[in-house]
Structures are given as structure tokens and as C-alpha cells.
């Protein structure tokens, strides 16, 4: 409702400005306001400030000669205020747009960082899994080699024990045979002596 009232007042004040073409100050300031109206970036901003500027221009047009210098200063100030307000609004729109773009870029950068971190974590997981599998394989090989060595050493020990046992048995057998032979020699009667030849 407020903006509708401002728009109606702007239309009502536009006609006297057209009729003030013979006043160079009014014409110059009116052209500055018309530039704001014609610029697509400022058409829909600073409506209240532009309305105040048009009211000040109308007052300048209607002012007497003695009051015209003060009315001119007011009109100039109001027009400048409208220009600054319009430019501020345009700048704020641009700032808002840049802020949105920045937020979108930050979100996209964060998403890319998260995706990059996820890929790196997956790569490290696979690498750790491969290393664990390789370590397990090496342990199995080492265990197999240890088992084979133990079995070989056991076989050697078994062979050596068997050979030692056979050697002991052979020595015992040889000793037994020697003992038996000695006993047989003791039990054998002595050989008879031959008689001397008689003369």
C-alpha cells in the first residue's frame, strides 16, 4: 500500500516537472531523476527518495525568487539522496548476488573436498588391505618354511638316532661274540703232549 501511494504521488508530480522546462535548475535535476527512471537497474529502487526529490523540485518550481536559493539546495540534496539511495540499492543487490555465488562456490568446494577426502580414504583403505594380505601371505610362507625346517631337522634327528642305535647294537653284538669266543677258548681241553722216543 505504501509503494502504491508513492507511485501515485510520483505520477502526480511528474506533470509539473514537464512544465518547468524553462527553469534550467529544475530541468537539470529532473534529467538526473529521469536517468534513474530510465536505468533498468534503478527503476524499481529508491522510490521514496525519488518521490521526495520530485516534491523538492516542485517546491523549487513554485518558490518565489527570494526562497529559490534555499529551495534549490533542498532539491539538489534530495536528488543526490535519491541517486545515492538508488546506487546503494544496486550495490546491495550486487553484493547479495556475489554473496550467493560465494556461498554456492563454498558449498561446491566443500563438496569437492569431501569427495576428494572420500576417494583418498578409499585408496588408503585398499592400500592397507593389500599390505595386510601381503603380510599375511609372508607370515604363511614363513610359518611353512619354519614347519618344513622343523620337519627336516626331526627327520635328520630320527635318522641319526636310528644309525646310532644300529651302531650300538652292532657294537654290543661284536662284544657278545668276542665274549662267547673267549668262553669257548677256555672250555677247550689242552692238546696232549707227545711221548719221548725210547733208546
- Structure confidence at residue 85 (pLDDT): 93
Q: Is residue 121 part of a domain?
A: no
Instruction: Read off the pLDDT of each residue in 148-163 and give the average, rounded to a whole number.
Output: 84
Q: Is residue 16 part of a domain?
A: yes
- Structure confidence at residue 176 (pLDDT): 87
Q: Is residue 50 part of a domain?
A: yes
- Domain hosting residue 18, numbered range: 2-101
Q: Is residue 191 part of a domain?
A: no
User: What is the SS3 string spanning the chain?
Assistant: CHHHHHHHHHHHHHHHHHHCCCCHHHHHHHHHHHHHHHCCCCCCCCHHHHHHHHHHHHHHHHCCCCCHHHHHHHHHHHHHHHHHHHHHHHHHHHHHHHHHHHHHHHHHHHHHHHHHHHHHHHHHHHHHHHHHHHHHHHHHHHHHHHHHHHHHHHHHHHHHHHHHHHHHHHHHHHHHHHHHHHHHHHHCCCCCCCCCCCC
Q: Is residue 192 part of a domain?
A: no
Query: What are 50-82's pLDDT values in tens digits?
Result: 999 999 999 999 988 889 899 999 999 999 999
Q: Is residue 123 part of a domain?
A: no
pLDDT band at 192 (very low <50, low <70, confident <90, very high): low
pLDDT band at 190 (very low <50, low <70, confident <90, very high): low
Query: What are 16-41's pLDDT values in tens digits?
Result: 444 445 689 899 999 999 999 898 98
Query: What are 86-135's pLDDT values in tens digits?
Result: 999 999 999 999 999 999 999 999 999 999 999 999 999 999 999 999 99
Looking at the 3D structure of the chain, how many domains does it have? 1
Q: Is residue 130 part of a domain?
A: no
Q: Is residue 18 part of a domain?
A: yes
Amino acid at each position: 500500500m505504501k509503494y502504491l501511494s508513492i507511485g501515485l504521488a510520483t505520477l502526480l508530480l511528474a506533470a509539473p516537472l514537464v512544465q518547468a522546462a524553462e527553469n534550467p535548475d529544475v530541468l537539470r535535476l529532473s534529467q538526473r531523476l529521469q536517468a534513474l527512471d530510465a536505468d533498468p537497474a534503478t527503476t524499481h529502487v529508491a522510490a521514496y527518495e525519488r518521490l521526495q526529490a520530485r516534491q523538492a523540485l516542485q517546491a523549487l518550481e513554485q518558490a518565489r525568487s527570494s526562497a529559490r536559493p534555499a529551495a534549490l539546495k533542498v532539491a539538489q540534496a534530495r536528488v543526490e539522496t535519491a541517486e545515492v539511495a538508488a546506487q546503494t540499492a544496486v550495490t546491495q543487490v550486487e553484493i547479495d548476488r556475489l554473496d550467493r555465488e560465494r556461498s554456492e562456490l563454498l558449498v561446491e568446494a566443500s563438496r569437492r573436498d569431501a569427495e576428494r577426502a572420500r576417494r583418498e580414504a578409499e585408496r588408503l583403505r585398499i592400500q592397507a588391505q593389500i599390505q595386510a594380505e601381503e603380510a599375511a601371505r609372508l607370515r604363511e610362507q614363513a610359518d611353512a618354511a619354519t614347519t618344513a625346517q622343523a620337519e627336516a631337522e626331526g627327520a635328520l634327528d630320527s635318522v641319526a638316532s636310528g644309525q646310532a642305535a644300529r651302531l650300538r647294537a652292532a657294537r654290543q653284538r661284536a662284544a657278545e661274540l668276542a665274549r662267547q669266543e673267549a668262553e669257548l677258548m677256555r672250555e677247550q681241553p689242552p692238546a696232549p703232549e707227545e711221548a719221548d722216543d725210547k733208546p
